[in-house]
Amino acid sequence: MLRKIVTMPRPVLNDVLCFAPNRETLGGTAYLVLGTAVGNLLIDCPALTDENQSFLQEQGLDAIVITHRDGLGQVRRFQAQFGCPLIIQEQEAYKLPNLASVTFQHQHQIRDDAELIWTPGYSPGSACLYLKREGGILFTGRHLLPDASGRPKPLRLAKTFHWYRQLNSVAKLRDRFCPQTLSYLCPGANTGFLRGERVVKDAYRHLQALDLDQERSRAVPL
């Protein structure tokens, strides 16, 4: 008799957990952040399994943050299930008509401990969530992903909306932060390339090491 494997969310940092990659969002990784100023935040959507639903019901869910448009079909089901506010950049929100949401343009302050930053490029309304704890944590969605060597970088994919805007968004993040304000990255996909690590450490050093001019110069049409 085959045993059913139950994959529970794993801790990655204090009060930050990640879910197993979600097939419905092309291997996307969702996170749960416990104990922010507005309560528990779900960043993107994990698989809507019985185990994940039970876990989220037990922990309590106060808001859902969306970093990009992949897998928006799941958002309706999650909001119907948990009845909590949805926070999303305005250029993604139009794809969810008649769904109650909080939208923003350039940035959105979630009280004083979390902020959403518009980082267009992968999709028109891609965003990163910055959390003021542990020396600074940036949840990057698909804006910055580990490459095959485990180094975080912007990756030009078949679904990339606008490559040069994505590189400009990376430059803005690099200008915005410093080693004292950005310690960790939590990417929204490709987490298997981290090879057992659950976050990207020394995040600002990796960001500063990116050669964006080189990325621009060698870009060719996909």
Starting at the edge strand found earlier in the chain, the sheet holding 86-89 runs 10-13, 16-18, 31-36, 39-43, 63-65, 86-89, 102-104
Task: Pick out the chain residues at pLDDT < 70.
Answer: 1-6, 218-222
Question: Which amino acid would we find at residue 56?
Answer: L
pLDDT at residue 108, as a whole number: 95
pLDDT at residue 1, as a whole number: 39
Q: How far is CA 32 from CA 46, 63, 186, in A?
A: 10, 10, 11
pLDDT at residue 5, as a whole number: 45
Residue 29 near residue 19, CB atoms below 8 Å: yes
Q: What is the pLDDT of residues 190-221, one digit of tens each?
A: 888 887 788 999 999 999 999 999 888 866 55
H/E segment holding residue 63? strand 63-65
**C-alpha R_g of the chain:** 17
Helices (H), 121-180: 163-176
Neighbours of 194 (CB within 10 A): 16
Q: Return all residues near 120 (Cβ < 8 A) that are at least 6 apart.
A: 91, 126, 161, 162, 165, 166, 169
Q: How far is CA 4 from CA 8, 51, 170, in A?
A: 13, 11, 41
Answering whether pTM is above 0.85, one says yes
Token representation of residue 177: 């932060």
Question: Which amino acid would we find at residue 154?
Answer: P
Q: What is the pLDDT of residues 40-50, one digit of tens each?
A: 999 999 998 99
